[in-house]
Amino acid sequence: MRFGQDYDVCSVITPVDLATGANTGHRINMGKCGGVTFFGYLNTGTAAQAVTFTLQEHDAASAGTSQDLDVVDVYWQKEEATLDGDEVWVEVTQIADAAVTDADWDDANQVLVAINVSAKDLSSGFTHLSIDVADPGTAHVGCVFAVREELHHKGKPDALAEPNG
């Protein structure tokens, strides 16, 4: 796979203390790609602050109607005291839902979460996708980025279509 030809990477939630309030993710226009994988990265945390990612679909690039997209029945995670490249992905299954969380994410480990969504998963009339992170209650640094896959407009990275327009 080649950057610009097969995939693009875009920010969704930049690195931040997630406890500063609700963290609203940037919207991605799913009309420009066949799917997206959201990657959430959580730095080490403390007890009683499990992080929740919530998938949203929208009928506009901004404003408009938004709603939960209850399609996540499988996600992948890596978790270790220090993510240093020797971890393996662990598949997690759940009843289809918009929310992805794990009470174990509130401990002293770093976590990498991958959530894959197809453009075909969106409800009729909805064109954009985002993922939000709720305030976990106490300091917990994290971020989310997305890899857009099956690009409809391919080319050099500097010529890729704007992801949310």
Locate 128 and state its tokens: 């954009």
What pTM, to 2 d.p., does this model score? 0.93
Confidence band for 37, pLDDT divided at 50, 70 and 90: very high
For 81-102, the DSSP string reads SS--S----EEEEEEEESEEE-
Q: Is residue 76 part of a domain?
A: yes
Q: What is the DSSP letter of 24?
A: P
Containing structural domain, residue 85: 7-154
Question: Is 165 part of any domain?
Answer: no
Residue 42 falls within a domain, yes or no? Answer: yes
Domain total in the chain: 1
Quick check: is 164 in a domain?
no
pLDDT digits (tens, 9 = 90+) for 115-136: 999 999 999 999 999 999 988 8
